[in-house]
Amino acid sequence: MSLTYVIPDIHGRYDLLCAGLVGIAAYSRGGAGVVVTIGDYVDKGPESKAVVDRLLSGIGEGFTLVALKGNHDALMVDALRDPSKMPPWIAKGGDAALASYGGDPAAVPQTHIDWLDGLRLMHVDAHRLYVHAGVESEIPLDRQDEATLLSKRYPKGFPCGFGRLHVVHGHDNCPDGPLLYEGRTNLDTLAWRTGRLTIGVFDDDRSGGPIDFIVIKGAPAGH
């Protein structure tokens, strides 16, 4: 059985990311697989730099990493390239990210900026579409607006995916989630604050939502 593991919004929680990768390795029992991280690696939590370093270093033999961009990743890049955009980034959790680099924007490695900037906006396999926030169901994928992919919020209870593709996303946090619908799965459980990271496990040969979850439980923010 070929599996895809989906890690939602990390937001600087290096501890949860590392525990999640260990959990995936244990679940796979030595098998290969695809790991899709659906964005928001930085901001809010305490260790954005360590998160990016970890993903840049690779995630383990036998696994393929597909790293997607989140709106916070884009905010950070924009702020570091244009000082006029620094205040909005700082106000949305960028202060924590900047602190992880020592508080100096000039100390952020160019490799980190380039990696965050170059992240893909979506990933599609035989049965699913993976994206940070969402897609417009009536617009072809090659014409989707970047702002939609990074920042869309679905109406409460919206059940649909994208045609025959099940949509897997994060961004719109639900601490009591994940939220499971016929056509989409929202994995964002506000892990950076709650300490509960929910990784979705998907069967590459079967359509629809997750077949299982790997739940990582760490300390809530501030503890």
Residue-wise burial string across 182-216, b where 16 or more C-beta atoms lie within 10 A, e elsewhere: ebbbbbbbbbbbbbbbbbbbbeeeeeebbeeebeb
Query: What is the secondary structure of 12-73 as a DSSP string?
Result: T-HHHHHHHHHHHHHHHTT--EEEEE-S--SSSSS-HHHHHHHHHT-S-TTEEEEEB--HHH
State residue 64's pLDDT score: 96
| pLDDT tens, N- to C-terminus, the chain (223 residues) | 799 999 999 999 999 999 999 999 999 998 889 999 999 999 999 999 999 999 999 998 889 999 999 999 999 999 999 999 999 999 999 999 999 999 999 999 999 999 999 999 999 999 999 999 999 999 999 999 999 999 999 999 999 999 999 999 999 999 999 999 999 999 999 999 999 999 999 999 999 999 999 999 999 997 7
Hey, which residues does 131 pair with through a beta bridge? 122
Contact 80, 112 (CB under 8 A): no
Amino acid at position 8, single letter: P
What is the reported pTM? 0.97
Query: Does the domain formed by 3-217 have CATH 3.60.21.10?
Result: yes
State residue 42's pLDDT score: 98
